[in-house]
Amino acid sequence: MAKGNNSFGSGPGMRQLRVGEQIRRTMSEILMRGEIHNPDLNRMSITVGEVRLSADLRVATVFVLPLGGEGKEDAVKLLASHQWELRRMIGKKCGLKHAPELRFRLDETFDRMEETRRLLNQDEVRRDLDTDEE
């Protein structure tokens, strides 16, 4: 087995997961406290759902969603425009020698969960599920 690989396939390693969670918590705190120098961004309540790091820890994809889903595209654009400021703050607060490049994406987890609930509540699907359980 090659160094750094795990036995479960090509999923993220423990270090990626640990640093990703550290960045997620730090990013949430920065946004909650309104530490960015942008009043429009500071007025938004943004949830940081997940941070996925590349294997070399150089790129962090940050999945975000504004509270209530209002202004999704604006939130992503505002965060992207302050990427360097956020990157510097995260590097300092997390004690990272090299803070990763930050890329912001909409967190669509809630939309997918709602769609799954909708599908599971359809009569045809419920009938099939009830048949499988018997």
pLDDT, one tens digit per residue, over 13-52 is: 899 999 999 999 999 999 999 999 999 988 899 999 999 9
Architecture of the domain made up of 14-108: 2-Layer Sandwich (3.30)
CA distances (Å), origin 71, targets 42, 67, 68 = 13, 9, 9
Q: What integer pLDDT is reported at residue 4 of this predicted model?
A: 46
- How far is the C-alpha of 68 from the C-alpha of 65, rounded, in Å? 8
How high is the pLDDT of residue 42? Answer: 87
Q: What is the pLDDT of residues 39-90, one digit of tens each?
A: 998 889 999 999 999 999 999 999 999 987 778 889 999 999 999 999 999 9
* pLDDT of 6: 44
Domain residue limits, the chain: 14-108
* DSSP three-state, residue 38: coil
Question: How confident is the model at residue 2, as a pLDDT?
Answer: 43
